[in-house]
Amino acid sequence: MWYMIYGVDNAASSEKRSQARPAHLARLQTLRDAGRLLLAGPLPQVMEPEAMEPGSAHMVGSLILADFASLDEARAWAADDPYAHAGVYRETHIHPWKGVFMPSLDGNPTQVTL
């Protein structure tokens, strides 16, 4: 089943995020290589769009949609994330997610899952 992992950053965690990023990305790559990662990415702080330069925004969290066998497995994976170990996240929310419109894993642009 798909699970949403939403990590909310601690204030002033940019340096911790930068240091833990390579290990965090490596774990995500492992999920992707196994066909279990639908999407992942950081959440930039809300700013005026014209003021935001790529790569310059302060991050306030992360969103991951990945396939896990159970909620317990998703929780364990999130708890072992390098960002969690580094103290980047102040809280993590994990919820089952049912895709209705989503990218297809077989290369088609979109699919409907009802």
Q: Which two tokens stand for residue 59?
A: 């991050």
Percentage of residues in the chain having pLDDT higher than 90? 72
**Banded model confidence at residue 75, pLDDT cuts 50, 70, 90:** very high
**Prediction pTM value:** 0.83
* 17-43: pLDDT as tens digits: 999 999 999 999 999 999 999 999 999
CATH number at residue 34: 3.30.70.1060
In total, how many domains does the chain have? 1
Q: How far from 45 is each of 59, 92, 110, 111, CA to CA, in Å?
A: 6, 17, 28, 30
Which residues span the domain enclosing 46? 2-112
